[in-house]
Amino acid sequence: MNILTIDIEDWFHLLSDHEVPDPEKWAMLPSRIHQALDVLLEILQKTNTPATFFIVGWMAEKHPDIVKKIVSLGYEIACQGHHHRLVYTMTPEEFSQDTRQAIQVLEHIGGQKITAYRAPGFSITHQTPWAFDILAENGITRDSSLFPGHRAHGGYHGLQTHSPFIIQTSHHSIREFPISTVNFLGIPLAFGGGGYFRLLPYPIIRHLSKRKPYIMSYFHPRDVDTQQGVLPGLSLSRRFRAYYGINNCGNKMERWLSDFHFTDLRTFESQVNWSEVEIRTITTPAVR
């Protein structure tokens, strides 16, 4: 079985080092979230697929109606931080504050307890072991922030497992649902979402999917939004990765969700026999 997740953020929430606007400027940019979310929701309804939405807290604050809409349609909501900041660029205190703020906003608007987290850009790395303790202290029991191998924003080197496992820190434990990848010439391809999904032809995605017992997918509203603007100042390669294949992405997604069985995180979690999964121990500092 596979998990469908959507990261709720706007077209200008691209992660890049300096070209991307500051949070102070976000409010001045025209939002595309309503149009883009509707395209996604139509695909989900057509294929009758449950999904988990990792929502940026800032988005929930700005557009509470989208959170309410997602909840009223019966989908699960989860946290993607408040200001969409990379975890390894924050101090533990800043990370704690950002996570807490997002959870408070999401619980207040959505009326659901928030127990799942995804780091923007999968940015929990070996440099931020404290992140798991902070998540647990804020009521998070499930995480989907780990990306096996190297990538532009972090990545968790040496992660060979491609199925859920338990992270046991010095103080807490968290159920981890890593992003699934396939090795292509030694490079981990996360074919289940974002730029990789947009880039690869559907027959290849279907072929790769057949070989995987577990796929953790990750889509964004901007992946299917054909009318969005292009952020100025992006490098050529960043621009290619951000915008390639958007015209065809919705169709591909609809075929994929029809050809394979996807569900949301909570349903998948309830079907795992947790007494049998691998436990990975991480030593975390006693005092932060």
Footprint on this chain of Zn ion (rule: CB under 5 A):
7, 9, 120
**Residue 76 or residue 284: which is nearer to Zn ion going by CB?**
76
Alpha carbon 175 to chain centroid distance? 15
Least distance from Zn ion to the Cβ atom of residue 119, Å: 8
Q: Which residue is nearest to Zn ion (CB)?
A: 120
**Residue 23 or residue 285: which is nearer to Zn ion going by CB?**
23
Rounded to 5°, the CA angle 33-238-200 comes to 80
Query: Coil, strand, or helix at residue 86?
Result: coil
Torsion of CA 38, 44, 50, 55, to 10 degrees: -30
Least distance from Zn ion to the Cβ atom of residue 120, Å: 4
**Residue 75 or residue 219: which is nearer to Zn ion going by CB?**
219
* 128 contacts: CB under 8 Å, gap ≥ 6: 87, 88, 95
**Residue 14 or residue 284: which is nearer to Zn ion going by CB?**
14
**Residue 9 or residue 76: which is nearer to Zn ion going by CB?**
9
* 121 contacts: CB under 8 Å, gap ≥ 6: 15, 86, 152, 153, 154
Q: How far apart are the first and last CA of the chain?
A: 38
Least distance from Zn ion to the Cβ atom of residue 148, Å: 18
Least distance from Zn ion to the Cβ atom of residue 1, Å: 24
**Residue 169 or residue 225: which is nearer to Zn ion going by CB?**
225
Q: Which residue is listed with tokens 């699960």?
A: 76
Least distance from Zn ion to the Cβ atom of residue 216, Å: 15
d(CA 31, CA 283): 42
Task: Look up residue 45 and give its amino acid.
Answer: Q
Least distance from Zn ion to the Cβ atom of residue 9, Å: 5
> What b/e string do you get for 82-99 counting C-beta neighbours within 10 Å, with b at 16 or more?
bbbbbbbebeeeebbebb
